[in-house]
């Protein structure tokens, strides 16, 4: 999924996430507005001081003593308010980034596993890390500056316009040109560069992750130079995108400064002409000109967003894609809670897009029995197990547990009833003990050891220097495929669910370890129903019944 929402839609959705911290955002806007007014009026008071020194006796002239007191007070206030505004904005930004990360992880949990199968993991990492991090620019340096610029413009236009309406209108045009026209033109010129940059960044992250995981194969087959050349090519392409965006940003800054200079000169010229025609006095020339000179800060802040927001909105688009994507199966919380008394697949059909995998499969799984399923690769054996876990929805027919459609059973209950051992066991970068405990968080050491003995892995663990506290490394890369597989089986035994689904559980094991595990499974069937998918004939000897899947049909 890669939606191309407009910048306004992205902004509206991102602003909607600010609701929990709306009070802090209003406070930041008030402090920022007051701080910018203090900064502008320090210079304006300087103009009044000049008028007083030159001895102009006009209604608008402020006594020199009052001017210096106000300048001192405003200078101190400006510093304090600037710090407070930035502190408030960054508190909002980092608090919201934490909330967004939490929402993204919740979304990934909803989408998993169906919508994440085959998804580029490196690209997902880029979204979770760098893309979300880029939203800090929006929350800390965009929302409140936009509101501040709007309110500040209104106040300054009224102040300058109090000398003459034409001057106020000219100031409005100046602020609009700098704060709106320049950013919009820059954004239009950037086009889809921001999204392209984020996509390339995600692709580079994925390529590097893939290269690190496949480093042994790259070295073995002498593909290092080719892999490095491709990495350099991707990096250079990403650098070219960044260079192009930085160039546009620099041009935007140059244009902004030129526009400011032109409007400053225009203000001086118009006010001088009004003075010549007798419409304003000298203060009507000096003060409005100085006021415009010193009041472009909020508008410049908006102008600088023109190029950076392209990148930010592209990142926001990618984050929103995950938040708004609909899962294949929704978690059920208000369904039934059942005890396991058998399971049935009744006339089940299933297709991956247009490819039919299962067609009219019917099968019963009774307690205290081992049901074996064999068939060629791609025949639908693993898919059937995933349907039993409700990772996917059936295209037709139904799956029932304890005579209840699994679409009506609470997801938490379903997970308690089933244990699923896949062909690839994922191990976290943690100790063996903690990797096993995810199957049962409150498991005692005795329960963990008993599960490992059933999986024929206890003796191996005890031979390690730190035993069960030994770290398995990233993705369990310090262990062999067979050792990882036995730890996966140990998890299933520890979970102790009454419905055990095993997908090629002994494919990486030698005959001795296979025999120990099959003996454990034969004993375990007294307390549960076991579904055993395997190519090995030796594994199928313990099955009470064996079914063959051929072209999506069961025989």
In this structure, what CATH number is given to the domain that contains residue 501? 3.40.50.300
Is-contact 342 40, C-beta < 8 A? no
Query: In this structure, is residue 305 part of a structural domain?
Result: yes
371 shares a domain with 242: no
Query: In this structure, is residue 259 part of a structural domain?
Result: yes
The dihedral of CA 283, 284, 286, 292: what is its sign? positive
User: Sheet holding 529-533: strands in order across?
Assistant: 418-421, 499-503, 529-533, 370-375, 545-550, 553-554
290: left (phi over 0), alpha (psi -120 to 50) or beta: alpha
402 shares a domain with 281: no
- Buried b or exposed e, range 399-421, using 16+ CB within 10 angstroms: bbbbebebeebbeebbebbbbbb
Write the pLDDT tens digit of every residue in 145-199. Answer: 888 999 999 999 999 999 999 999 999 999 999 888 887 777 677 666 666 777 7
Query: In this structure, is residue 149 part of a structural domain?
Result: yes
Calculate the dihedral angle through the C-alpha atoms of 59, 64, 69, 75, rounding to the nearest 10 degrees. Answer: 90
What SS3 class is residue 374? strand
**Residue 315: closest CA among 128, 145, 142:** 128
* pLDDT for position 307: 59
* pLDDT for position 194: 65
* pLDDT for position 167: 95
11 shares a domain with 93: yes
Domain of residue 155: give its range: 7-201+236-324
425 shares a domain with 359: yes
How many CB atoms sit inside 10 A of residue 476's CB?
Answer: 22
Query: In this structure, is residue 206 part of a structural domain?
Result: no
CATH code: domain of residue 294: 1.20.1560.10
Is-contact 433 468, C-beta < 8 A? yes
Last residue of a domain, one of 292, 324, 356: 324
Query: In this structure, is residue 473 part of a structural domain?
Result: yes
Q: Contacts from 83-90 at CB under 8 Å and sequence distance 24+?
A: 84/31, 85/28, 85/31, 85/32, 85/35, 85/144, 86/140, 88/24, 88/27, 88/28, 88/31, 89/28, 89/32, 89/139, 89/140, 89/141, 89/144, 90/136, 90/140
Write the pLDDT tens digit of every residue in 79-93. Answer: 999 899 888 888 888
* pLDDT for position 480: 81
Query: In this structure, is residue 229 part of a structural domain?
Result: no
- Give me the number of domains the chain comprises: 2
* pLDDT for position 144: 84
For residue 113, give Cα distances in angstroms to 110, 118, 386, 392, 493: 8, 10, 9, 8, 22
Q: Which parts of the chain register pLDDT below 50?
A: none
**Residue 279: closest CA among 167, 159, 172, 164:** 164
317 shares a domain with 357: no
Last residue of a domain, one of 261, 293, 324: 324
Query: In this structure, is residue 1 part of a structural domain?
Result: no
Is-contact 171 292, C-beta < 8 A? yes
Write down how long the chain is: 555
497 shares a domain with 456: yes
Query: In this structure, is residue 530 part of a structural domain?
Result: yes
Last residue of a domain, one of 296, 324, 352: 324
* pLDDT for position 5: 58
* pLDDT for position 37: 93
456 shares a domain with 320: no
* pLDDT for position 140: 74
418 shares a domain with 459: yes
169 shares a domain with 82: yes
The pair of structure tokens assigned to 197 is: 């940059």
Distance CA 386, CA 390 (A): 6
Distance CA 312, CA 135 (A): 6
How many CB atoms sit inside 10 A of residue 437's CB?
Answer: 18
**Residue 501: closest CA among 528, 483, 523:** 528
254 shares a domain with 126: yes
* pLDDT for position 51: 80
366 shares a domain with 499: yes
350 shares a domain with 318: no
């Amino acid at each position: 999924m890669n939606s191309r929402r407009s910048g306004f839609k992205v902004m509206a959705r991102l602003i909607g996430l600010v609701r929990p911290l709306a009070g802090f955002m209003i406070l930041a806007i008030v402090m920022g507005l007051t701080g910018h007014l203090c900064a502008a009026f320090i210079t304006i008071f300087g103009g009044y001081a000049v008028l007083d020194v030159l001895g102009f006796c006009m209604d608008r002239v402020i006594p020199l003593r009052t001017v210096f007191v106000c300048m001192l007070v405003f200078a101190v206030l400006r510093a304090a308010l600037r710090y407070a505004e930035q502190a408030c904005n960054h508190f909002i930004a980092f608090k919201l980034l934490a909330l967004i990360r939490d929402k993204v992880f919740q979304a990934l949990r909803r989408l998993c596993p169906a919508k994440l199968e085959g998804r580029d993991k490196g690209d997902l990492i880029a979204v979770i890390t760098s893309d979300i991090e880029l939203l800090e620019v929006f929350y800390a340096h965009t929302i409140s500056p936009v509101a501040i610029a709007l309110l500040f413009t209104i106040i300054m236009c009224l102040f300058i316009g109090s000398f003459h309406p034409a001057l106020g209108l000219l100031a409005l045009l100046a602020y609009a040109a700098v704060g709106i026209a320049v950013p919009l033109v820059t954004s239009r010129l950037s086009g889809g560069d921001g999204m392209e940059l984020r996509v390339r960044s995600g692709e580079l992250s994925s390529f590097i992750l893939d290269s690190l995981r496949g480093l042994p194969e790259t070295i073995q087959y002498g593909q290092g130079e080719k892999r490095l050349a491709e990495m350099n090519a991707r990096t250079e392409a990403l650098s070219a995108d960044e260079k192009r965006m930085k160039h546009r940003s620099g041009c935007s800054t140059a244009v902004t400064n030129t526009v400011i200079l032109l409007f400053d000169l225009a203000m001086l010229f118009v006010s001088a002409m009004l003075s010549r025609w007798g419409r304003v006095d000298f203060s009507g020339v000096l003060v409005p000109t100085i006021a415009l000179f010193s009041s472009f800060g909020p508008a410049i802040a908006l102008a600088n967003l023109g190029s950076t927001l392209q990148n930010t909105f592209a990142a926001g688009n990618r984050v929103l894609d995950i938040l708004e994507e609909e899962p294949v199966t929704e978690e059920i919380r208000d369904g039934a809670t059942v005890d396991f008394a058998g399971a049935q697949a009744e006339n089940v059909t299933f297709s991956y897009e247009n490819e039919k995998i299962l067609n009219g499969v019917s099968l019963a799984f009774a307690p205290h029995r081992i049901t074996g399923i064999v068939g060629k690769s791609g025949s639908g054996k693993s898919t059937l197990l995933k349907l039993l876990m409700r990772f996917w929805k059936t295209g037709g027919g139904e799956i029932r547990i304890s005579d209840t459609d699994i679409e009506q059973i609470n997801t938490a209950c379903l997970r308690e009833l089933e244990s699923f051992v896949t062909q690839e066991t994922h191990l976290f970068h943690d100790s063996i003990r903690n990797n096993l405990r995810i199957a049962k968080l409150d498991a005692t050491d005795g329960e963990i050891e008993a599960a490992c003995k059933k999986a024929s892995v206890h003796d191996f663990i005890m031979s390690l220097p730190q035993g069960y506290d030994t770290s398995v490394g990233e993705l369990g890369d310090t262990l062999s495929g067979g050792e990882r597989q036995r730890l996966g089986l140990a998890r299933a035994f520890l979970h102790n669910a009454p419905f055990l689904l095993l997908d090629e559980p002994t494919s990486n094991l030698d005959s001795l370890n296979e025999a120990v595990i099959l003996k454990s499974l034969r004993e375990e069937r007294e307390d549960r129903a076991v579904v055993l998918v395997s190519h090995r004939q030796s594994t199928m000897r313990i099955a009470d019944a064996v079914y063959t899947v051929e072209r999506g049909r069961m025989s």
